Each structure stands twice: as structure tokens, then as C-alpha cells.
């Protein structure tokens, strides 16, 4: 999978590259409008992360070029501007998604995965990790082909952690993703802890060989726990 | 009271004084002049009569006025010598009017062949009470006519002259720093108005420039902060993913991340505020409030449960507001969040929707808050360090932008915020 990062801020570009490479993507970069344009014309990418404000031109103009080539569906706009107009315009121009800086890397990965998944030929709507299978379309979880009954929040948490497996998912990222933006100012995460507790219990009872590991003070990480074996 | 009528008010008070004094002076002058000429006439008559008396002694027998205007009687010498010419007013019965009428009387003495006589000459005089009455009526008429003409001049002429002033006044009234258009110049020939106009226009331009540069500064500062914040948070995120980091350091990373996220929230809130005030959410549409509140209440359900707070939603009517859908959603969630955060364990948040407003109330310890202060920025009523203190400021800004009204009240241990169409 090949990803193009068009971002002029070197530090942020570095972070994006490092984080994406960890997930086994091949990453190329462009730091201005001209370079970006050259790369999108010359090469094929599975996903393009596009900053709106670029030296030499607007990311939205690049998006117009991409639309002319019918390639705008793989674009995720990243912008420091939370301007609704930009967002609306970007999405109207065919961009797949819009992320506002600062964002959580976990959220970025979830969005990148979703773009790639939607564009892949046999539209995979299933995630398989360990003995867990998540059917994203029908919102069903199975452990060893047996249904795992989760409520909506638990499903969302597990899905998000699965998309970011083996990565630390910060609890604020999780709270925002599952409960919506309004939760970001929650002064404690009790509501999150109790849902995770229930999720863990259900996974354990189903002999799932995945473990939601807590990283104190930060968040959670979904890891394969080989010690647990099926029935 | 309008400026035009102010002048009228003072004129109405001062004019009777001026006219009154003028009338008094006029009256005394007139009377003086009339008596003067009457006295001259009497004097002349006197001389003619005395002259005639020397040649025609029958005149001396005329001791009653009757049809003549003089009377003569004999007096002794001493009396005559002590007598001087005296003019006086007197009343004499006249037949035609069957009444006493005012007459001017001249008393004098003269001698004809060693015999002394007293002569009284009269002349019909001014009827002073009639004169006074006439003058009084005239000045009342004069007063009324003067006032009427001032009124007419004010309303026709002055109104026209002052019209640039009133135009400017209405422009200033409509002027608002965050709204266009600016105050435009009002053409006028009056020097003072021209000067006023120029200065007001300049003042408005300066204020608008200052205001917009401050807003710009705030917006730019907040924008510029986003990228370094993003880099710092993401770098810490990457750092925390390294496998060889000990738990202790992870905790430190966690607390730094929390602080950075707090900064991000503050920054976002400030950006949102500036954007609302910059009217960047111009779109307005009819928003169904009931389903929106239902959805938001559900979103907060988990948070409420974890805090042991019950959210109670009562829908009395269907509420539809015209506003920006994102803003109204932020407004409601800020109010609900506010109710949850400043609550007590086992407390309640009540949401009530009626046909023309909705309200969010929450149980709390303590007493009523100052309604003048609660909507101010960074006004904190708790020591909770995680709060940025902009939630209610944003609520107020949204209400102002969407032409809604938000009110605070306190009763029976409940803070209540109600929001509806501006009355």
C-alpha cells in the first residue's frame, strides 16, 4: 500500500511518515504544491494525506486536479483550519475525509484504513485479529466463529482498538471517536473505564485471545495474548 | 424630548415674559404720550378761555360744565395766589354713554380786573381699562402667533437643516463593530454637522480597524498554535509507542499529553469564539430541536451514569429554531455538559423543551450565581483545573449570533439556563 503525504511542516511530515511506516505502508512525501502535483500526476497512491495550506498553492487546488483525474476519493484533507467552508468544499470536491490538526494518530490510522478498505477491490468489510472476526458492515463480532454479544459502545471501542492493533490508543482519542467530540472535555474517563471493563469481561468469557491492555495514564492497546487458547 | 421641541419649550416660557414687559412699556409710553398731548390741548384751551374772558365777561358766569368744556367760579385772592396749574384724572357723567367716563382736568386760576377766578378745563381722556384689555388681547394673539410660527419654522426649516444630524444619528444607532457596512459620510452644508460627520466616520473606522486587528490577532495566534500543538502531541504519541519506555515515563508522557490536550481545547474554544463573532457561521436553517436534544442527551448518558447523575428529558412541545445547525448543537451540548460537570453526586439534570424555548437545569450545591458574570470568558466558579471556562461564553456568543436569548435563574437548588427566541 502506497501513501502520499503532502505536508509542508517538516516535523509533522516526519511524524506522519514514521507512524505510517510502522503500519507497513510505503510512504512518499511532498512538501509543496508543485512537488505534490508532480507526484499525483506521475504515480498511483492508495491514499493521499493532503494539507490545505501549502507553499506554492492551495491543497484544495491539488484536490481539484485529483478530481479531474478521478482520484479524489482517496484523499484525506488535514488542516489546521477548522473552517467549515474548507471542510464542505473539500468534501464536495470528492475528498474522502477531513481531519483537523491536532489529531490523534490513532484517528488518522482509522481513517486511512477506512479509505483503503473502501477502495480495495473486494471491499473487505471484515477485520481478523487472533481468533476475533469483526464484520464492520453488519456490526457483528465473532470469536472462534461464535457470536460475541457487544453493545454499541463496546463494539465501537473494540473496532477502534482493532484498527489500531498493537498501537497505543489514547483514551481521549477513544472517547472522541466513540462518544463524539463533545466528550473531549470530560474531566474524568469513568464512563470509558466501565465500558472497557465490560468489554474485557465479555472477551475473556468468550476465550478471545486478544487483550485490551491498559497503559496507565494514557490509554489502551489491543494485543494478541497467545496464552489464551480456544476451548 | 426632541431638540426641536426643546427650543419651543424655552421659547414658550420666555416669550410671555418678553411680550409682557414689552406690553407694559408700550402701555405706559402710550398713556404718557396721550396725556401729554391732552395736557397740551387743555393748556391751549385755558389760554384761549382766559383771553376770551378779558373781552367777553359773560364767560365768567359759566360756572357749570354743561355743554362746554370749562367751568369758572370766583375765588378770593389768597386762594388764587396759592393755586398752581394742576392736571388730574377725573370721572364725569356723560349722557350718551349713561356712565362716568374718564376725563383729563386742568385746574388753574386767573385774574380779570382785580377779581380772581378759578378755571377748570376738561377733555375726554383715554379709557385706560379698555386700552389694557385691548393690549392684553393683542399680546395673547401675538404670543400664539409667535409660538405657531416658531413651531412651523422648527418643523419645516429646522427639520430640514437638522436632517443630516438625524441621518448620522440613525447610522450610529445601526453601527455595530462586527457588522458591515461602516458608517458612511452624510452630505451637508452646515459646518458643525460636517465636522461631526467627519469625526464620527473617522472614529468608527478606527474602532472597526482596532476591533478587526484584535480579532485577527486572536485568530492567527490560535491558528499558529495548532501546528506546534499537533506536532507535540503526535510526537509524544509516537514516543509512548516505543516498547522500551518504562511505565514511570509513560505516566509522565500521559500527564504532558493531558496538559497539551487541555491547551488544544482552550485553543479550539477560542477559535470557535472568534469564528462565531466573525460571523463565519452565516448559514441559518430551521433546526428541529427535539430530536437534536434527544440525540445529545443520549450521547451524554454514559458520562451522566458514571457521575451518578440522572438526565431527565421532558418534551412539552415541538421546538423549531432558525440557526446554524452546528452552532445550535454546540450550544445545547455545552449547556448539558455544564449541567453535568457542576453537579452533585446523585443529582439531576433536567432538560425541558416547550414550543418556544428549551431549558437545562441542574442540581448543585451553593447559591445563585451572578447572571452578569457567568457568561464572561474565563469566569470559573469551580477550582477544577481541567475546565477552560469558555463553555458558557460560547453559549452566549452563539445565542447572540443566532438571535436567541439565554437567561439564567436559580431556584430550589437548581441552576437553570433557558434559551429561546429573543423577545
Q: Residue A50 pairs with which residues in a beta bridge? A: A6, A77
Specify the pLDDT at position A187. 62
B398 or A95, which is more confident: B398
Q: What is the mean predicted confidence (pLDDT) over B371-391?
A: 72
List chain A residues with CB under 8 Å of B247. 216
Report CA B278 to chain centroid distance, whole Å.
31
pLDDT tens-digit series, residues A114-136: 888 887 766 677 888 888 888 88
Distance CA B225, CA A105 (A): 18
Distance CA B306, CA B240 (A): 28
Distance CA B150, CA B159 (A): 12
Domain borders along chain A are 2-119, 126-224
**Residue span of the structural domain in which B60 resides:** 3-131
Asked if residue B311 lies in contact with residue B297, where contact means CB atoms within 8 angstroms, the answer is yes
Cβ-defined contact of B240 to A168 (cutoff 8 Å): yes
Distance CA B309, CA B301 (A): 9
pLDDT tens-digit series, residues B51-89: 888 888 788 877 777 777 888 888 888 888 888 888 888
Asked if residue A163 lies in contact with residue A103, where contact means CB atoms within 8 angstroms, the answer is no
In a domain, B241, yes or no: yes
Asked if residue A144 lies in contact with residue A131, where contact means CB atoms within 8 angstroms, the answer is yes
- First-to-last C-alpha distance (Å) of chain A: 36
List chain B residues with CB under 8 Å of A190. 306-307
How does DSSP classify residue A73?
A: G
Q: Does B253 touch chain A (CB under 8 A)?
A: yes
What angle (nearest 5°) sits at the alpha carbon of residue A137, between those of residues A136 and A140?
60
Cβ-defined contact of B306 to A188 (cutoff 8 Å): yes
Hey, do A2-119 and A126-224 end up sharing a CATH topology, with the first three levels equal?
Answer: no
Distance CA B51, CA B58 (A): 13
Cβ-defined contact of A9 to B231 (cutoff 8 Å): yes
Q: Which residue of A has its CA nearest to B334?
A: A182
Cβ-defined contact of A184 to B265 (cutoff 8 Å): yes
pLDDT tens-digit series, residues A161-217: 998 888 888 888 888 888 876 665 556 788 888 889 999 999 988 888 888 988 877
Specify the pLDDT at position A86. 67
Distance CA B24, CA B29 (A): 9
Specify the pLDDT at position A167. 84
If asked whether residues B378 and B270 sit together in one domain, one would say: no
Q: Mark which of B83, B116, B131 sits at the end of a domain.
A: B131
Q: Mark which of B131, B160, B176 sits at the end of a domain.
A: B131
List chain A residues with CB under 8 Å of B326. 84
Cβ-defined contact of B296 to A218 (cutoff 8 Å): no
Cβ-defined contact of B337 to A182 (cutoff 8 Å): yes
Most A CBs within 10 Å, among B282, B283, B295, B302, to test the A interface: B302
Secondary structure class of A58 (helix, strand, coil): strand
Q: Does B264 touch chain A (CB under 8 A)?
A: yes
> Any idea what the CATH number is for the domain that residue B394 is in?
3.30.565.10
Q: Does B48 touch chain A (CB under 8 A)?
A: no
| Range with top average pLDDT, A116-130, A131-145, B214-228 | A131-145
Strands across the sheet containing A75-79: A26-30, A2-6, A47-51, A75-79, A97-100
Q: Which residue of B has its CA nearest to A10?
A: B231
Phi, psi of A83 (to 5 degrees): -70, 125
Specify the pLDDT at position B320. 92
Min Cα distance A181 → chain B (Å) is: 10
Composition of chain A by helix, strand, coil, percent to 5: 45, 25, 30
Q: Which residue of B has its CA nearest to A168?
A: B241
Secondary structure class of A153 (helix, strand, coil): helix
Cβ-defined contact of B234 to A15 (cutoff 8 Å): yes
If asked whether residues B348 and B386 sit together in one domain, one would say: yes
If asked whether residues B254 and B215 sit together in one domain, one would say: yes
List chain A residues with CB under 8 Å of B306. 188, 190-191, 193-194
Chain-wide mean pLDDT for chain B? 85
CATH domain A126-224 topology: Arc Repressor Mutant, subunit A (1.10.10)
Cβ-defined contact of A80 to B226 (cutoff 8 Å): yes
If asked whether residues B235 and B359 sit together in one domain, one would say: no
Q: Mark which of B131, B149, B174 sits at the end of a domain.
A: B131
List chain B residues with CB under 8 Å of A105. 234, 237-238
Distance CA B399, CA B331 (A): 8
pLDDT tens-digit series, residues B92-146: 888 887 888 888 889 988 888 888 888 889 888 878 888 888 888 988 898 889 8
Q: Residue B357: how many CB atoms within 10 A of its CB?
A: 19
B184: exposed, middle or buried (C-beta count within 10 Å: 0-12, 13-18, 19+)? exposed
- CB proximity list for B410: less than 8 A, separation 6 or greater: B367, B368, B369, B416
Cβ-defined contact of A105 to B234 (cutoff 8 Å): yes
Min Cα distance A111 → chain B (Å) is: 16
> Any idea what the CATH number is for the domain that residue B258 is in?
1.10.287
Q: What is the mean predicted confidence (pLDDT) over B251-270?
A: 86
- First-to-last C-alpha distance (Å) of chain B: 27
Secondary structure class of A217 (helix, strand, coil): coil
Cβ-defined contact of A85 to B230 (cutoff 8 Å): no
Min Cα distance A190 → chain B (Å) is: 6
Burial B141-161 (b: 16+ CB within 10 A, else e): eebeebeeebbeebeeeeeee
Cβ-defined contact of B234 to A186 (cutoff 8 Å): no
Split at pLDDT 50, 70, 90, the class of A47 is: very high
If asked whether residues B29 and B123 sit together in one domain, one would say: yes
Specify the pLDDT at position A231. 43
Q: Residue A143 pairs with which residues in a beta bridge? A: A132, A146
In a domain, B176, yes or no: no
If asked whether residues B77 and B96 sit together in one domain, one would say: yes
Cβ-defined contact of A84 to B333 (cutoff 8 Å): no
This model of the complex carries an ipTM of 0.82
Distance CA B11, CA B2 (A): 14
Interface of A with B (CB under 8 A): 9, 11-12, 15, 18-19, 22, 80-85, 101-106, 153, 167-168, 170, 172, 179-180, 182-188, 190-191, 193-195, 215-218
Distance CA B278, CA B275 (A): 5
A124 or B350, which is more confident: B350
Pick from B230, B237, B302: which is nearest to A170 by CB?
A: B237
In a domain, B12, yes or no: yes
If asked whether residues B268 and B223 sit together in one domain, one would say: yes
pLDDT score of B411 more than 60: yes
**Three-state secondary structure of chain B:** CCHHHHHHHHHHHHHHHHHHHHHHHHHHHHHHHHHHHHHHHHHHHHHHHHHHHHHCHHHHHCCCCCCCCEEEEEECHHHHHCCCCEEEEEEEEECCCCEEEEEEEEEEEEEECCEEEEEEEEEECCCHHHHHHHHHHHHHHHHHHHHHHHHHHHHHHHHHHHHHHHHHHHHHHHCCCCCCCCCCCCCCCCHHHHHHHHHHHHHHHHHHHHHHHHHHHHHHHHHHHHHHHHHHHHHHHHHHCCCCCCHHHHHHHHHHHHHHHHHHHHHHHHHHHHHHHCCCCCCCEEEEHHHHHHHHHHHHHHHHHHCCCEEEEEECCCCEEEECHHHHHHHHHHHHHHHHHCCCCCCEEEEEECCCEEEEEEECCCCCCCCCCCCCCCCCCCCCCCCCCCHHHHHHHHHHHCCEEEEEEEECCEEEEEEEECC
List chain A residues with CB under 8 Å of B307. 190
Asked if residue A82 lies in contact with residue A151, where contact means CB atoms within 8 angstroms, the answer is no
Pick from A101, A191, A215: which is nearest to B226 by CB?
A: A101
Distance CA B329, CA B287 (A): 10
Cβ-defined contact of A185 to B223 (cutoff 8 Å): no
If asked whether residues B321 and B211 sit together in one domain, one would say: no
Cβ-defined contact of B341 to A187 (cutoff 8 Å): yes
If asked whether residues B34 and B125 sit together in one domain, one would say: yes
If asked whether residues B109 and B198 sit together in one domain, one would say: no
In a domain, B157, yes or no: no
Min Cα distance B356 → chain A (Å) is: 25
If asked whether residues B271 and B299 sit together in one domain, one would say: no
Specify the pLDDT at position B386. 58
Asked if residue A179 lies in contact with residue A171, where contact means CB atoms within 8 angstroms, the answer is no
CATH number for the region A2-119 comes to: 3.40.50.2300
Number of domains in chain B: 3
Cβ-defined contact of A182 to B333 (cutoff 8 Å): yes
DSSP H or E stretch at residue A79? strand A75-79
B173: exposed, middle or buried (C-beta count within 10 Å: 0-12, 13-18, 19+)? exposed
Distance CA A231, CA A211 (A): 17
Q: What is the mean predicted confidence (pLDDT) over B24-50?
A: 90
Pick from A9, A190, A218: which is nearest to B240 by CB?
A: A218
pLDDT tens-digit series, residues A49-85: 998 888 888 888 888 988 888 888 889 988 876 656 6
Q: What percent of chain B clears pLDDT 70, i.e. is strictly above it?
A: 96
Report CA B170 to chain centroid distance, whole Å.
13
If asked whether residues B208 and B325 sit together in one domain, one would say: no
Split at pLDDT 50, 70, 90, the class of A33 is: very high
Distance CA B267, CA B256 (A): 16
Amino acid at each position: 500500500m502506497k501513501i502520499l503525504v503532502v505536508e509542508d511542516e517538516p516535523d509533522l511530515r516526519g511524524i506522519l511518515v514514521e507512524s505510517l511506516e510502522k503500519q507497513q505502508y510505503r510512504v512518499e512525501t511532498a512538501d509543496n504544491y508543485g512537488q505534490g502535483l508532480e507526484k499525483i500526476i506521475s504515480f498511483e497512491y492508495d491514499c493521499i494525506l493532503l494539507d490545505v495550506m501549502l507553499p506554492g498553492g492551495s491543497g484544495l487546488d491539488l484536490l481539484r486536479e485529483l478530481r479531474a483525474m478521478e482520484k479524489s476519493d482517496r484523499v484525506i484533507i488535514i488542516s489546521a483550519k477548522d473552517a467549515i467552508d474548507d471542510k464542505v468544499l473539500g468534501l464536495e470536491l470528492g475528498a474522502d475525509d477531513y481531519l483537523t490538526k491536532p489529531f490523534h494518530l490513532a484517528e488518522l490510522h482509522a481513517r486511512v484504513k477506512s479509505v483503503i478498505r473502501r477502495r480495495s477491490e473486494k471491499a473487505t468489510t471484515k477485520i481478523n485479529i487472533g481468533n476475533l472476526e469483526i464484520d464492520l458492515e453488519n456490526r457483528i463480532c465473532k470469536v472462534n466463529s461464535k457470536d460475541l454479544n457487544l453493545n454499541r459502545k463496546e463494539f465501537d471501542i473494540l473496532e477502534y482498538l482493532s484498527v489500531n492493533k498493537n498501537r497505543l490508543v489514547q483514551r481521549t482519542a477513544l472517547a472522541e471517536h466513540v462518544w463524539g467530540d463533545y466528550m473531549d472535555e470530560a474531566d474524568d474517563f469513568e464512563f470509558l473505564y466501565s465500558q472497557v471493563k465490560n468489554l474485557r469481561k465479555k472477551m475473556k468469557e468468550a476465550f478471545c485471545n486478544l487483550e485490551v491492555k491498559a497503559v496507565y495514564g494514557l490509554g489502551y492497546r489491543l494485543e494478541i495474548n497467545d496464552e489464551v487458547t480456544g476451548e | 424630548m426632541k431638540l426641536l421641541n426643546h427650543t419651543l419649550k424655552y421659547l414658550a416660557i420666555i416669550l410671555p415674559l418678553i411680550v409682557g414687559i414689552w406690553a407694559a412699556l408700550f402701555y405706559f409710553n402710550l398713556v404718557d404720550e396721550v396725556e401729554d398731548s391732552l395736557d397740551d390741548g387743555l393748556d391751549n384751551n385755558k389760554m384761549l378761555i382766559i383771553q376770551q374772558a378779558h373781552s367777553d365777561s359773560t364767560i365768567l358766569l359759566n360756572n357749570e360744565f354743561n355743554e362746554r368744556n370749562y367751568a369758572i367760579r370766583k375765588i378770593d385772592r389768597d386762594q388764587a395766589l396759592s393755586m398752581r396749574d394742576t392736571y388730574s384724572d377725573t370721572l364725569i357723567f356723560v349722557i350718551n354713554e349713561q356712565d362716568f367716563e374718564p376725563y383729563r382736568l386742568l385746574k388753574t386760576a386767573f385774574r380779570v380786573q382785580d377779581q380772581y377766578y378759578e378755571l377748570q378745563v376738561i377733555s375726554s381722556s383715554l379709557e385706560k381699562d379698555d386700552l389694557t384689555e385691548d393690549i392684553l388681547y393683542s399680546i395673547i394673539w401675538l404670543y400664539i402667533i409667535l409660538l405657531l410660527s416658531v413651531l412651523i419654522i422648527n418643523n419645516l426649516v429646522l427639520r430640514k437643516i437638522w436632517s443630516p444630524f438625524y441621518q448620522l444619528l440613525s447610522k450610529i444607532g445601526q453601527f455595530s463593530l462586527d457588522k458591515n457596512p461602516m458608517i458612511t459620510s452624510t452630505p451637508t452644508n452646515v459646518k458643525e454637522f460636517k465636522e461631526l460627520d467627519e469625526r464620527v466616520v473617522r472614529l468608527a473606522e478606527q474602532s472597526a480597524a482596532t476591533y478587526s486587528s484584535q480579532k485577527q490577532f486572536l485568530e492567527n495566534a490560535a491558528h499558529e498554535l495548532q501546528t506546534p500543538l499537533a506536532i507535540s502531541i503526535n510526537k509524544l504519541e509516537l514516543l509512548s509507542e516505543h516498547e522500551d519506555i518504562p511505565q514511570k515515563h509513560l505516566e509522565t508522557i500521559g500527564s504532558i499529553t493531558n496538559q497539551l490536550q487541555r491547551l488544544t481545547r482552550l485553543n479550539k474554544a477560542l477559535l470557535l469564539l472568534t469564528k462565531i463573532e466573525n460571523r463565519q457561521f452565516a448559514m441559518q436553517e430551521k433546526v428541529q430541536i427535539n430530536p437534536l436534544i434527544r440525540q445529545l442527551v443520549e450521547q451524554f448518558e454514559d458520562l451522566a451514569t458514571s457521575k451518578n447523575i440522572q438526565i431527565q428529558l421532558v418534551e412539552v412541545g415541538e421546538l423549531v429554531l432558525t440557526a446554524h445547525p452546528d452552532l445550535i448543537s454546540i450550544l445545547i451540548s455545552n449547556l448539558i455538559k455544564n449541567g453535568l460537570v457542576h453537579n452533585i453526586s446523585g443529582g439531576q439534570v433536567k432538560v425541558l423543551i416547550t414550543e418556544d424555548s428549551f431549558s437545562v437545569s441542574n442540581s448543585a450545591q451553593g447559591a445563585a450565581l451572578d447572571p452578569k458574570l457567568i457568561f464572561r470568558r474565563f469566569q470559573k466558579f469551580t477550582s477544577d483545573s481541567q475546565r477552560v471556562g469558555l463553555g458558557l461564553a460560547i453559549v452566549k456568543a452563539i445565542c447572540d449570533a443566532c438571535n436567541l436569548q439565554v437567561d439564567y435563574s436559580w431556584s430550589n437548588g437548581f441552576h437553570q439556563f433557558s434559551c429561546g427566541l429573543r423577545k
